[in-house]
Amino acid sequence: MDKKLNTLKPNLSTIGGRLKYLREFAHLDRNEAGHLARVAHDTYKDWENNKTNLTTTRAYWLIDALQAYGIDCSIEWLLTGELDPPQKDSTFFIKNPIKINLKDEKKQKQIQEEYSLFCRHNPCATHLVVADNAMLPTYEPEDIVAGIQYPPKKIENLIGQNCIVTLKNNEVMLRNLQASSTENCYTLLATNTQSSSALIVHNAELISAAPVIWLRKLGQV
């Protein structure tokens, strides 16, 4: 039934229709969207079908969570249909600049411009300035890495890859992603056995994960 509904054009005159439009615009299924709004699949489905009412609090939670994926949506549009519909946030890279302070201003500008271009083509981009030596020899402290964020349900497709991971407590780190025996959790591995950081994080609950596809070593810029 869900697959059939997904082929229908959402009715933007209703909150449920706008919710469906927003979810499809973000390329999420109902499980993923429900996770962001902190509700079950069936609850989210009932919202989309206008069987139950979306609360203002849940609407704010969903909108705030989608900002991490580069989706900009106003609460007014979602709840009333007023103002502009959601859009990919072209200024996402400006809100999340790389925080480095190089003596060579030309190098710093070059890095910022390269990352800005990366974000323009990838609205769900995220980055991290490596803070520890846990991922040596591939990644050194102060390396800059970036990737495209995957929502919770799709993280399992990244098993075995080095990823920028955001934990449920909002801690962000670079680790190798491995499966866990605990449902909806993952094991995070460091590659440097001599690191003072934790070598293994068991049963990590993740908000998102982004495989590293962009790397800048400050000494090589």
Rounded Cα–Cα distance for residues 178 and 1 (Å)? 33
Expressed as residue numbers, the domain containing 183 is 125-220
The answer to whether residue 111 is domain-embedded is: no
Contact by Cβ (8 Å): 86, 25: yes
Q: What would the mean pLDDT of 36-64 be, rounded to a whole number?
A: 92
**pLDDT tens-place string over residues 53-90:** 999 999 998 998 887 677 889 999 999 999 999 987 65
Instruction: Find the farthest-apart pair of alpha carbons in the chain and give their distance in angstroms, rounded.
Output: 59
- pLDDT score recorded for residue 5: 42
Which band of pLDDT confidence, cut at 50, 70 and 90, is reported for residue 180? very high
**pLDDT tens-place string over residues 205-218:** 998 999 999 999 97
Q: What would the mean pLDDT of 162-187 be, rounded to a whole number?
A: 95
16, with CB counted inside 10 A (0-12, 13-18, 19+), is: buried
Say whether both 81 and 137 belong to one domain. Answer: no
Bigger pLDDT: 72 or 192?
A: 192
Alpha helical stretches, state H, 68-171? 75-80, 92-95, 105-121
Handedness of CA 109, 112, 114, 116 (dihedral sign): negative
Among 69, 88, 107, the domain-final residue is 88
Q: How far is CA 192 from CA 105, 129, 186, 199, 200, in A?
A: 32, 17, 19, 8, 11
CATH number of domain containing 164: 2.10.109.10
Least confident of 27-36, 89-98, 141-150, 162-171: 89-98
**pLDDT tens-place string over residues 98-153:** 777 777 788 888 888 888 888 767 767 889 999 999 999 999 999 999 999 888 88
The answer to whether residue 112 is domain-embedded is: no
Amino acid at 200: I
Contact by Cβ (8 Å): 71, 89: yes
- pLDDT score recorded for residue 77: 96
